[in-house]
Amino acid sequence: MRALVWHGKEDIRCDIVSDPEIEDPRDAIVRVTSCAICGSDLHLFHNLVPAMLPGDIMGHEMMGEVVEVGSGVDGRLKKGERIVIPFTIICGECDQCRRGNFSVCERTNRKKNLAEKAFGHTTAGLFGYTHLTGGYPGGQAEYIRVPFADTTHVKVPEGLTDEQVLFLGDIFPTGWQAAAQCDIEPTDTVAVWGCGPVGQMAIRSAVLLGARQVVAIDHLPERLSMAEAAGAITINFDQESVVERLNELTHGKGPEKCIDAIGTESHVSFGQPDTLYDRAKQMMLMENDRPHVLREMIYVCRPAGIISIPGVYTGLVDKIPMGQAMNKGLTFRMGQTHVNRWTDDLLRRIEEGQIDPSFVITHIARLADGPEMYKVFRDKQDSCIKVVLKP
Amino acid sequence: MNLVSNITRSAGDPKVLKTGPSSLTGWDRLARNLGWFGIGLGIAELFASRRMARSLGMRGQEGLLRAYGAREIMSGILSLSIDRHIGLWSRVAGDVLDIATLRRAMRRPNPRRDNVGLALAMVLGVTVLDILVAKSLSASRARNSRQWRDYSDRSGFPRGRQLQSQPQVPAAAGR
């Protein structure tokens, strides 16, 4: 089969690889009908996430048709069914899964010895990601083996297109969780840094959850126009001061809720000297992440507010003003997404027409064009916001 | 690469049978090679500055050569990074400095003028290469900021944006 394979930093190729096979009774094989390039795929593309290995198949946002199931799937999944595959692999039985903390499932990381060394305790296995999370082959491929398939799936009801439901596997629940963990109240201002795909989903989630006003921060006009479409007030950080404008919009008090939908690769510019400092340190392998947004959020957030972090961070960050955070009594909530915690509710909202996540798709391409599309997405060329690939 | 790729696979994972075209272009690879070349040259200038100064007839300017070495290493690291187009332009700026310095060494009564001439010819050649690669990489990364698509018709709310409700989560979630 064909698959997009990581061969090293910025080196992705559409390779011919052997077909996946059932290895465990709880496995299923899925023919991928649609998959997407996620913002966190770019962190892998740039080799910023430790423990990627040449030959890893990329992709953690995918859906398709079940073509084979193992004997242990126990009738919970059948051949021919259409499913979205959550990027977090879940057993559904461990203590964390029973609590709904699916992204920290205790049993699905097949390389948990690595995770325990790196994180202290294991987290869930993830598709198409670092070997710290199991190194499971991803879904930017024609077929994928889904471990723990009896629990790791979202069934697609009749009548919904791939484009409507594909993002249930990652960016939609990720944006939703970012907003939900803000405990939004009707009087709240929610500020969202980054109007990429997750940011767009977080903006719409904050709107659906009843925020008084949502403020979207970016510098790309096409992304800001998409944020405005959802009713957000926009701030172009190339043209105005984020801190001053946010204070102006909140009568000098700052937003109650701040969402970081950027993560490790904050934009670097001469106007923000700390971003140059971070980039230099990152290049010298002295810092993993560029946390400019975190610093700005901590500074501008209203005291006793909530900082929600769906953006991916990979390791060590520098110059985080913990003194500000502590004295202001800020609450931090973060983590990989507990996808299946949210998907029933989100699928219902899609079926009811409350939201149609396909609004975010700007480019649809063949799998073979994947290596080129990574660059288009990375360089934000052709007003690219979200790429969907059709194997 | 197939062999290396497949050695690292877990048993049962798909194996690479045939590799396709890479997202890395020839210019990218050339930029990386120039980056490594710059780092090598920089290390030589840092640690063999006395010998290099002697061979170029530039005795007394070892400190300058060491500074240029540090500059080469910094440009080299930048040329290996994802911002390699900036690294290549920084190399071009460095090349201009090198040319100016070598021209000065050519002018004065210098018994090693032949060596300086050779070094100057090499630097001129590398400069042409640096400019070509830098221009190509800049063009491939360029984003036309004047032509952007307006997505203001993409609200994502087929029924309008007045629906507001709390998330429904399983009772056990997040305890």
Say which residues have a Cβ less than 8 Å from residue A345's Cβ, sequence separation at least 6: B167, B168, B169
Are A333 and A365 contacting, i.e. CB atoms less than 8 angstroms apart? no
Q: How far is B64 from chain A (nearest CA, A)?
A: 24
Give the DSSP H/E element, type plus range, for residue A363. Answer: strand A363-366
Percent of chain B with pLDDT over 90: 75
**pLDDT tens, A176-217?**
999 999 999 999 999 999 999 999 999 999 999 999 999 999
First-to-final CA distance of chain B: 46
Question: In the predicted model, what is the mean pLDDT of residues A68-82?
Answer: 94
Chain B partners within 8 Å of A209 (Cβ): 164-167
Q: Do B167 and A230 touch (CB under 8 A)?
A: no
Mean pLDDT of chain B: 89
**A11 touching B (Cβ < 8 Å):** yes
Task: Name the residue in chain B with its Cα closest to that of A204.
Answer: B156
Parallel/antiparallel/unpaired status of strands A189-193 and A213-218: parallel
C-alpha distances out from residue B132 to A202, A298, B142, Å: 42, 44, 15
Chain B partners within 8 Å of A381 (Cβ): 142-144
**pLDDT tens, A214-271?**
999 999 999 999 999 999 999 999 999 999 999 999 999 999 999 999 999 999 988 8
Task: Name the residue in chain A with its Cα closest to that of B28.
Answer: A10
The span from the CA of A172 to the CA of A339, in Å, is: 9
The span from the CA of B26 to the CA of A93, in Å, is: 50
Are B76 and B38 contacting, i.e. CB atoms less than 8 angstroms apart? yes
**A7 touching B (Cβ < 8 Å):** yes
Q: Categorize the per-residue pLDDT at B95 as very low, low, confident or very high, splitting at 50, 70 and 90.
A: very high
**A90 touching B (Cβ < 8 Å):** no
Task: Name the residue in chain A with its Cα closest to that of B151.
Answer: A226
C-alpha distances out from residue B88 to A11, A102, A140, A280, B132, Å: 19, 45, 33, 16, 9
Q: How far is B118 from chain A (nearest CA, A)?
A: 33
Give the DSSP H/E element, type plus range, for residue A366. Answer: strand A363-366
Are A59 and A139 contacting, i.e. CB atoms less than 8 angstroms apart? yes
Residue B162 clears pLDDT 70, i.e. is over it: no
B34 - beta bridge partners? none
Q: How far is A382 from chain B (nearest CA, A)?
A: 7
Residue A283 clears pLDDT 90, i.e. is over it: no
A31 - beta bridge partners? A65, A143
**pLDDT tens, B49-84?**
999 999 999 999 999 999 999 999 999 999 999 999
Nearest to A209 among B15, B166, B170 (CB): B166
Chain B partners within 8 Å of A178 (Cβ): none
Q: Please tell me the pTM assigned to this model.
A: 0.93
Q: How far is B114 from chain A (nearest CA, A)?
A: 38
String of DSSP letters for A158-212: TT--HHHHGGGGTHHHHHHHHHHTTT--TT-EEEEE--SHHHHHHHHHHHHTT-S
Q: Categorize the per-residue pLDDT at B175 as very low, low, confident or very high, splitting at 50, 70 and 90.
A: very low
Tokens describing residue A40: 């966190």
Chain A partners within 8 Å of B144 (Cβ): 381
Mean pLDDT of chain A: 96
Phi and psi at A221, nearest 5°, equal -60, -35
Parallel/antiparallel/unpaired status of strands A28-37 and A387-390: antiparallel
The complex scores an ipTM of 0.91
Q: How far is A186 from chain B (nearest CA, A)?
A: 10
**A231 touching B (Cβ < 8 Å):** yes
Q: Do A355 and B167 touch (CB under 8 A)?
A: no
* 3-state DSSP assignment of residue A47: coil
More confident residue, A142 or B147: A142
Chain A partners within 8 Å of B161 (Cβ): 207, 230-231
Closest by CA to B71, choosing from B56, B96, B90, B49, is B90
C-alpha torsion A378→A163→A100→A25, nearest 10: -100
